[in-house]
Amino acid sequence: MPANTFLPLSLQIGCKGKHFLGFIVVLTFLLYAEGCKNPAAPPTATTMPPPAAPQQPKQPEIKPGTAYRIAIPLKSVKSPNNKGNFTYRLLWALVEPLNSEQKKVTVQVKAMFEGAWQGAFWEENFIVVLGSGNVVAANNPTKDMVMPNRTVEKSISFTIPKSENKIDLMIKGRGNNFSNIPLDLTKPE
């Protein structure tokens, strides 16, 4: 080792061999980092931000005199699927007048799938039957796949005649089995 090295003799002796270059790099980094600290400044503690609170289902903004919530008589439905069972939770329902002839009914659904493979959470499996017997499909049907023991939450909306005050929300399961949830759309006082 050259005599003009900046390491003390005890370190020069301990650093012989193939690891000498790596030792010099680490030591240089440590010495440089130590020299960059401001000795007058006290050490500061760093704090981690608190964990984010779990997100609540997004509640729609209800405009005064227009949209209103309705009661849901049945909050949870189990429905068999080809690969397992879905549990649907109806979180809230909202009625919103659109124009002089139509209104929109929106239902917030949380689905959990219990099965061996993915389950199909398709909005086309949700239909509304009007008092006249006519069937109304969801406005924007999407097809989501739910992994086992996971939940998916979405809003499903239907546009119906403004004169309808009693409808049946039907949820299709395996085969032609349907779960029926009657909804009273009368505006609460």
Higher-confidence residue of 157 and 49: namely 157
Distances (CA, A) of 154 to 67, 107, 169: 19, 8, 16
- Full DSSP string of 6-43: SS-HHHHHHT-STTHHHHHHHHHHHHHHHHHS-TTSPP
- Please report which confidence band the pLDDT of residue 27 belongs to, taking 50, 70 and 90 as the band edges: low
- Helix/strand/coil for 124: helix
Distance (Å, whole) CA 70 – CA 155: 15
The answer on pLDDT for 81 being more than 80 is: no
The answer on pLDDT for 60 being more than 60 is: no
Distances (CA, A) of 181 to 21, 129, 184: 75, 10, 10
**pTM for the model:** 0.62
For position 15, what pLDDT does the model report? 47
| Residue 167 · residue 183 · CB < 8 Å | yes
Q: Residues 162-181: what's their mean pLDDT?
A: 88
For position 169, what pLDDT does the model report? 93
Tokens of 117: 């493979």
Percent of the chain with pLDDT over 90: 30
Tokens of 56: 């609540």
For position 26, what pLDDT does the model report? 54
The answer on pLDDT for 47 being more than 60 is: no
The answer on pLDDT for 14 being more than 70 is: no
For position 160, what pLDDT does the model report? 95
| Spatial CA neighbour of 126 closest among 182, 74, 85, 179 | 179
| Spatial CA neighbour of 105 closest among 181, 171, 169 | 169
The answer on pLDDT for 107 being more than 80 is: yes
Residue 108 burial (10 A CB sphere; 0-12, 13-18, 19+): buried
The answer on pLDDT for 5 being more than 90 is: no
The answer on pLDDT for 48 being more than 80 is: no
